[in-house]
């Protein structure tokens, strides 16, 4: 039954071939609609969505932020925040032969409470904030067990330790009494999984479970979820915007846009024979990142003098003598790192979280003072600036030429300043420009980053994540810098917007003769964007080579493990789950 249809209808392809007709879905959603009653209008967040979940199978809900994926998933547990309201459809849960319509149960009733955590488990995106910071990991899991399985405190504790062991947290007897902030991101996500699985649910909903994690941790967590799913025979609803992840783990895929499922089918069909134009576009923007740098690589190089040279830069945290002469614990965040940046070059720095890449960026700007090493900046031919020896005034000049673009487009713009004020701020601070000239400059910058100059009187909240990042870039460009350090500048953005921003950066580079230092944990982005890549691990650069070489034939064991952990957006060529593991 293949029907190609207009936007808003569901295109089902290759459905019957995949599964036996006899299998009963454990959960089926029929025509679910959900509205948000806002002050002035009604927002149809979810419109007429239907899908089914089966034991042992994985359905991936794919879509960009705001497409209604998370709301749909939460509606299955009847967790709908205040102005939201389920307006139509059925959610039929059938775990024990008695189908129950979840949408028909009264609010806050015992049946709903039983179902939450008992039959449906939920894992979220932010492992940092989705666990209470003031309760121990153990107490939060024990609470679920005691709630649904009527265990004594002692039994629940033993069971929790067992669960922590199952999610591969080492030393669970001790970790059970720790607080969330003593866990790393990956560990927290494991604890969250343990909590979701505590009562052996029939359905696991994972809402962007690995978006906040770096590639190797992501691969670990997805592998873990997959293994647990197989051993327990759960149905998995995975929500993500990363098509690489989808290709690695999904059996079936539903593509959502504007609250509707625009296309649904098994993973192979979606990736290799997509019908809907939106699916095609999503796929196109992902595959592009995988393919390697399209931008001009034929610029003359090697004979030029590098614009920035970093030599043996080291940053040690701690290690100073304490009160009573006892030497404190010292951490080498950055360990004798050396590299050159040529004019017009894009240098990528990749690594896991905690590898020191962000610190390195700050050391170059001297936002953080380096402990050792030299940073030489050559703005003009023959001119050399020793950055570490600069006085405060001179450092300000240096900062005018080397700018930073931040990760979080929501946090890095002052919500009380208009776009014009935000972008003009560096111009005002550096002085020497009148109101009129500033306005012209801001208009020009906005045009440069592809925004309407009329937008300058509006406040940041009026803009989407991608547009805000454009504003951040315009701010960085305001003082005509030579080097831009982009610290995870695209990590918070959706796939298609991410590639737009990357293209924008490359476009600006061609016009303005910039060099980029591009710090990221996303290897496909780096491959698309950078000429050369430095791989960082535990504060050291383990490998530095052309982007192509790093991504296809890496030399070092660590680089290999990192590259193989990147999910591949092709279900016929799964890579992540059979990856190299690196022990260090």
Partner 1 sequence: MIRYIFKRLVYMIPTLFGMSLIAFLIIQLPPGDYLTSMIASMTQSGQNVDPRQIALLREIYGFDDPIHVQYWKWITGIVTRGDFGHSFEWNRPVSDLIWDRMGGTLTLSIASLLFVWAVSIPIGIYSAVRRHSISDHVFTFFGFLGLAIPNFILALTLMYVSYRFLGQSVGGLYSPEYVGAPMSWGKLLDFLAHLWIPVIVIGTAGTAKLIRILRANLTDELHKPYVVTARAKGLPEYKVVLKYPVRIALNPVVSAIGWVLPELVSGITITAIVLNLPTAGPLLLRALISQDMYLAGSFILLMGVLTLVGMLISDILLALLDPRIRFR
Q: Residues in the site for partner 1, rule: CB under 8 A? A: 74, 77, 79, 81, 108, 113-118, 120-122, 124-126, 129-136, 143-144, 147-148, 179, 181-182, 192, 195-196
Scanning 83-205, the segments in alpha helix (DSSP H) are 110-118, 137-149, 153-166, 172-175, 185-197
* Least distance (Å) between residue 332 CB and partner 1: 22
- The structure tokens listed for 135 are 């309760």
Burial of 445 (0-12, 13-18, 19+ CB in 10 A): buried
* Least distance (Å) between residue 128 CB and partner 1: 9
The conformational region for residue 209 under phi > 0 = left, psi -120 to 50 = alpha, else beta, is: alpha
Closer to partner 1 at the Cβ: 324 or 393? 324
- Cβ atoms 257, 250 nearer than 8 A: no
* Least distance (Å) between residue 148 CB and partner 1: 6
Closer to partner 1 at the Cβ: 89 or 117? 117
* Least distance (Å) between residue 195 CB and partner 1: 7
Closer to partner 1 at the Cβ: 143 or 425? 143
* Least distance (Å) between residue 306 CB and partner 1: 41
Distance from chain centroid for Cα 86: 29
**Cα-Cα-Cα-Cα dihedral sign, residues 135, 110, 194, 190:** negative
* Integer Cα distance of 575 and 492 in angstroms: 24
* Least distance (Å) between residue 377 CB and partner 1: 37
Closer to partner 1 at the Cβ: 207 or 543? 207
HSE-up of residue 459 (Cα within 13 Å, Cβ side)? 5
* Least distance (Å) between residue 320 CB and partner 1: 17
**DSSP string over 51-65:** EEE-TT-EEEEE--T
Closer to partner 1 at the Cβ: 145 or 282? 145
Closer to partner 1 at the Cβ: 200 or 480? 200
Q: Report which of 414, 406, 583, 427 is spatially closest to residue 492, judged by C-alpha positions.
A: 406
Per-residue buried b or exposed e for 247-262, using 16+ beta carbons within 10 Å of the residue's own CB: bbbbbbbbbbbbbbbb
Closer to partner 1 at the Cβ: 196 or 493? 196
How many Cβ atoms sit within 10 Å of the Cβ of residue 140? 18
Closer to partner 1 at the Cβ: 125 or 561? 125
Closer to partner 1 at the Cβ: 47 or 119? 119
Q: Report which of 546, 449, 425, 459 is spatially closest to residue 506, judged by C-alpha positions.
A: 449
* Least distance (Å) between residue 118 CB and partner 1: 6
* Least distance (Å) between residue 566 CB and partner 1: 27
- The structure tokens listed for 442 are 């801001």
């Amino acid at each position: 039954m293949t029907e190609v249809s207009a936007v808003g209808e569901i295109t089902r392809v290759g459905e019957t071939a995949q599964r036996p007709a006899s299998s009963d879905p454990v959960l089926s959603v029929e025509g679910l609609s959900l509205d948000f009653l806002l002050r002035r209008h009604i927002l149809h967040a979810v419109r007429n969505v239907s899908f089914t979940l089966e034991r042992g199978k994985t359905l991936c809900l794919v879509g960009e932020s705001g497409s209604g994926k998370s709301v749909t998933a939460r509606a299955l547990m009847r967790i709908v925040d205040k102005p939201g309201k389920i307006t139509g459809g059925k959610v039929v849960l059938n775990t024990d032969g008695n189908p129950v319509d979840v949408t028909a149960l009264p609010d806050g009733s015992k049946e709903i409470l039983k179902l939450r955590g008992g039959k449906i488990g939920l894992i979220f995106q932010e492992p940092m904030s989705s666990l209470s910071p003031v309760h121990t990991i153990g107490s939060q899991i024990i609470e679920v067990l005691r709630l649904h399985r009527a265990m004594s405190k002692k039994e629940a504790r033993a069971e929790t330790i067992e669960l922590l062991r199952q999610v591969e947290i080492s030393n669970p007897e001790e970790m059970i009494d720790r607080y969330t902030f003593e866990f790393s991101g990956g560990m927290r996500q494991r604890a969250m999984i343990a909590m979701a699985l505590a009562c052996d649910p029939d359905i696991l909903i994972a809402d962007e479970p690995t978006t906040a994690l770096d590639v190797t941790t992501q691969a670990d967590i997805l592998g873990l979820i997959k293994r647990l799913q197989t051993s327990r025979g759960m149905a998995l609803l995975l929500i993500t915007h990363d098509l690489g992840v989808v290709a690695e783990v999904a059996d079936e895929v539903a593509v959502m846009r504007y609250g509707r499922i625009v296309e649904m089918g098994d993973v192979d069909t979606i990736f290799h024979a997509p019908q809907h134009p939106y699916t095609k576009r999503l796929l196109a923007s992902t595959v592009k990142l995988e393919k390697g740098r399209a931008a001009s690589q034929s610029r003359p190089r090697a004979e030029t003098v590098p614009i920035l040279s970093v030599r043996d830069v080291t940053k040690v945290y701690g290690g100073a003598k304490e009160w009573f002469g006892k030497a404190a614990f010292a951490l080498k965040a950055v360990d004798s790192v050396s590299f050159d940046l040529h004019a017009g070059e894009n240098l990528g720095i990749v690594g896991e979280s905690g590898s020191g890449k962000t610190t390195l960026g700050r050391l170059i700007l001297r936002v953080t003072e380096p402990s050792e090493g030299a940073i030489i900046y050559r703005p003009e031919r023959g001119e050399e600036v020793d950055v570490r020896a600069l006085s405060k005034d001179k450092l300000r000049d240096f900062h005018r030429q080397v700018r930073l673009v931040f990760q979080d487009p929501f946090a890095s713009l002052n919500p009380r300043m208009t776009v014009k004020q935000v972008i003009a701020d560096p111009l005002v601070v550096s002085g020497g420009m009148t109101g009129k000239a500033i306005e012209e400059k801001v208009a020009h910058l906005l045009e440069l980053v592809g925004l309407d100059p009329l937008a300058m009187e509006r406040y940041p909240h009026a803009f989407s994540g991608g547009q805000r990042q454009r504003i951040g870039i315009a701010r960085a460009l305001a003082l005509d810098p030579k080097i831009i350090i982009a610290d995870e500048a695209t990590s918070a953005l959706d796939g298609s917007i991410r590639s737009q921003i990357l293209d924008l950066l490359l476009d600006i580079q061609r016009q303005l003769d910039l060099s980029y230092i591009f710090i990221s944990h996303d290897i496909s982005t780096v491959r698309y964007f950078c000429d050369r890549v430095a791989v960082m691990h535990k504060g050291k650069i383990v490998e530095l080579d052309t982007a192509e070489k790093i991504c296809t034939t890496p030399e070092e064991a660590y680089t290999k493990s990192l590259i193989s952990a990147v999910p591949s957006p092709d279900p016929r060529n799964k890579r992540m789950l059979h990856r190299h593991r690196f022990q260090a």
